[in-house]
Amino acid sequence: MTAGTTEAVSAPAPDDRYIVISADCHGGGNLRGYRPYLENRWLDDFDAWAAGYAIPYDDLKGDLGGRNWDSDRRLGDLEADGIVAEVIYPNTVPPFYPNNSLVEQPPAPNAGDLERRWAGLRAHNRWMADFCAAAPGRRAGICQIMLHDLGAAVDEVRWAKENGLFGGVLLPGAPPGSGVPSLYDPEYYEPLWSVCEELDMPVNHHSGSAAPAAGERAEDKVILLLEVTWWAHRAFTHLLVGGVFERHPGLRLVLAEQGTAWVPEELARLDYFFDRMGTGAAGSQEAVWGKELVGGMSLRPSGFFARQVRIGASFLRGHEVPAASRIGFDKIMWGSDYPHREGSHPYSTEALRAAFAGVDPVDVDGMLAGNAAATYGFDLAALRPLADRFGPTVAEIAEPLKPASLPIEAEMCPALIGYGRKETS
């Protein structure tokens, strides 16, 4: 796999077919499917844990659950959507875990539990490597790590690189209660940033991986829903303040499933404060607190973002496209969020029409494939024959989607709100 292998940029013709790479999909093993990937010393513990474990998410059970691990079914679903390759974030619950990694933080582990959780994550990563190998070049699997043992995390990143998980690393959050220092700690995480830069492994931060544990009341869940992306946005600011982008100019950060409209305003806010800290009036509170830190940075926040950050834009809606253009279409990677209930399947082509009708096909081509190829290393030439069979045409995506033209269930996907037919009495 050659990182960033891309085709020459030219204006696609109306009957050309787009290569579509979903930069945000999810997968994982069946609960007991992880057992063969555990070391023998953990098998008795696993059997006892699995016997008493109740899967907490309905869409990981029964027929719906199979979409996570049934390779042939998954390929068929994605091809029916016009998608020929995917970046795979975790979804199912690893052994010894209370919940998956993308809803909220599990409780901080104690000393004994830490080793068990690491065994579970390693089993997931090894399952993922085999799952990706079953569709060579089409699945960029993402490696899971924990932040409670940086030596073990670094070793796991090296293993992932050597074993074909070219999707990079899932960066957990470090909210209050997680038991680890904040991500802006200038020393603790340095081994992780160094190995990811050295191995050219993207650091992926997905919405849900940074929210603190919530309660079970309806109020708790609504607050989690309303704040989950805010917690995820903090990763960029924390790495910025911690000097990570300055020390590691080759490090790449992907912010996934966090929207796009927030980015221009947030970059303007950060530039304002960093300017005030670095060159503002002497004696101002901003300068008193931040002049020394900001004085060591070679770029403004927006400059670091432009150089090192990409957006995994699930649910991109037409009204968000102007904000995305302000970020730069070269930084946007579309995602279907398969197989989540809010994902665009089986209406992905319609979601693309809703977002991209009227957008320059060269820019659409980048957001659907070129940017993901440059970030993760997909080989577009190898994917072209598949796209010629399954991909949507340029003319098809250019056709605006009419309101109320889809079944109402399509509106489970936020990108298709307003396009479902309301029932009439």
Give residue-wise pLDDT tens across range 156-209.
999 999 999 999 999 998 888 888 999 999 999 999 999 999 999 999 999 888
So what's the pLDDT on residue 274? 92
Q: pLDDT tens for residues 271-293?
A: 999 999 987 777 788 888 888 89
Strand partners, 89: 26
Distance CA 422, CA 411 (A): 10
List, for residues 373-407, the tens digit of each pLDDT value: 999 999 999 999 999 999 999 999 999 999 999 99
Do residues 181 and 202 touch, judged by C-beta distance below 8 A?
no
Q: Is the pLDDT of residue 46 over 90?
A: yes
DSSP 347-363: -HHHHHHHHHTTS-HHH
Beta-bridge partners for 22? 86
Q: Residue 407: its pLDDT value, please? A: 96
Q: Is the pLDDT of residue 108 over 90?
A: no
Secondary structure class of 187 (helix, strand, coil): coil
Q: What percent of the chain has pLDDT over 90?
A: 73
pLDDT at 112 over 90: no
Is 12's pLDDT higher than 70?
yes
Percent of the residues in the chain that have a pLDDT greater than 70, as a whole number: 93
Average pLDDT, the chain: 92
Element (H, E) at 125: helix 111-133
- Average pLDDT of span 13-17: 92
pLDDT attached to residue 284: 84
CB 163 within 8 A of CB 131: no
- Over residues 207-244, the pLDDT tens digits come to 888 888 778 899 988 988 898 889 899 999 999 999 99
Omega cis (within 30) before 346: yes
**Residue 408 predicted with pLDDT over 70:** yes
Neighbouring-strand partners of residue 85: 21
Label residue 6 by pLDDT band (50, 70, 90). Answer: very low
Q: Which of 1-5, 146-150, 152-156, 301-305 has the lowest mean pLDDT?
A: 1-5
Which has the higher per-residue pLDDT, 53 or 376? Answer: 376
Q: How confident is the model at residue 101 (pLDDT cuts 50, 70, 90)?
A: low
80, 293, 312 from 398: Cα distances, Å: 19, 47, 22
Nearest by Cα to 353 from 141, 361, 116, 128: 361
pLDDT 10s digits, 24-41 = 999 999 999 999 999 999
Whether 111 has a pLDDT exceeding 80, the answer reads: no
Nearest to 311 by CA among 362, 260, 359, 352: 260
pLDDT band of residue 95 (cuts 50, 70, 90) is very high
Comparing 276 with 22, which gets the higher pLDDT?
A: 22
Determine which of 58-67, 307-316, 325-334, 408-417 has the lowest per-residue pLDDT on average: 58-67
pLDDT of residue 19: 98
Q: How confident is the model at residue 94 (pLDDT cuts 50, 70, 90)?
A: very high
**Could you give phi then psi for residue 247, rounded to 5 degrees?**
-75, -25
Give start and end residues of each alpha helix (H) in 250-346: 262-279, 285-295, 301-308, 321-327
Question: What does the pLDDT read at residue 220?
Answer: 87
- CA 226 to each of CA 39, 217, 222, 258: distance values in angstroms, whole numbers, following the listed order: 40, 14, 6, 12
Q: Which residue has the higher pLDDT, 24 or 62?
A: 24
Q: What is the DSSP letter of 122?
A: H
d(CA 189, CA 193): 7
Average pLDDT, stretch 123-142? 98
The type of residue at 371 is N
Residue 228's pLDDT is what? 87
* Greater pLDDT, 1 or 305: 305
- The residues near 105 (Cβ < 8 Å, ≥ 6 apart) are 172, 173, 175, 177, 178, 209, 210, 211, 212, 213
For the chain, list the domains and their CATH numbers: 21-416 (3.20.20.140)
The gap between the terminal CA atoms of the chain, to the nearest Å, is 55
Tell me how crowded residue 285 is: count the other CB atoms within 10 A of its CB. 11
